[in-house]
Structure 1
């Protein structure tokens, strides 16, 4: 039975205005108008983000939903998939954000609105551990898309972290997956939307 709900989780310093989030939203609106689509603005605190997402999908049917996550959102998406038993698409996912985000403690600027500033606090690093489902089997089918040219995260760590996923490793590319329009049909086909 096709999925009726789709969650998109953006990355660190990103927003629902990211290129990929907008492209997924437009695709779903055009081709799957009856699907419930949600891309929340995630707060900087991982604990607050987890509470927001958990509340937002609490009533969603796990057997009829999918989740897409990019970068830090990909790390979060693995947790959602475990909780809901649903398929996930991981786009250049962060594999160990507690390690990689430690250097961002302090004031940060949002990518899509330079006037939007937030403070990334030291305790947020500890909060990331609650999202970590490393070593546990995925909650449902996983699709990993990893760009070898990712300038932020190591694609080899992504491949090693998600061995059970169907893996698409793209030569070249970048962290933002600038070639995402070429992947959109495959990503949404994997989500099996109604």
Structure 2
């Protein structure tokens, strides 16, 4: 069975984000046999989930694992629970339907320049994806206390019995993310091929 990492970017982000690019480069260098997949997500939650589901379902012979940042961490939790596969969450959103309710209206993605509307219906879609009960050993969760967008304590509480890494300071982008990549590879049990 082949292995692949599905990287799920955050709100208003893209495959060109720093963490996605660093993850891609690290895997290509150290684990070239593990495929890295990171699509540009559609703006509506249901469309994004359908898009990711299509990728997973199109490859039934692949073991998928997940890396999710911010809103992507919320989506990764949904897929980790559904497929009982491991996920690494980086400064994950825990209740994004509350936070993003503050930005309802027109938005522009700074990476793609796409203009799209965030709606109240999107908040309902997000709420429907919430996983109240989690399989704790499926998750490695990395938060920084200086996250200026999300309250790190929400993730630290929800995933308190998972492999939780709390770093002092930092910010929402997760400062020094590259230093965490060996720990991510270890958690996902990626193996070097001779």
Contact 2:65 2:86 in 1 (8 A): yes
The runs of 5 or more residues in structure 2 that have no matched partner are none
* 1:159, distance to aligned residue in structure 2 (A): 0.7
2:130 matched residue in structure 1: 132
1:101 partner SS: helix
The CA RMSD over aligned residues, in Å, is 1.9
1:77 partner SS: helix
User: Structure 1 runs of 4+ off > 4 angstroms?
Assistant: 59-63
TM norm structure 1: 0.91
2:171 matched residue in structure 1: 174
2:36 partner SS: strand
2:33 matched residue in structure 1: 34
The runs of 5 or more residues in structure 1 that have no matched partner are none
* 1:60, distance to aligned residue in structure 2 (A): 4.4
Higher relative contact order (CA 8 A, sep 6+): 1
Aligned residues between the structures: 191
TM norm structure 2: 0.91
**Aligned partners of 1:96 and 1:40: how far apart in 2?**
23
2:119 matched residue in structure 1: 121
Deviation digits for residues 8-46 of structure 1 (CA, Å, limit 9, x no counterpart): 000000000100001101111111112122111111100
2:56 matched residue in structure 1: 57
Contact 1:62 1:86 in 2 (8 A): no
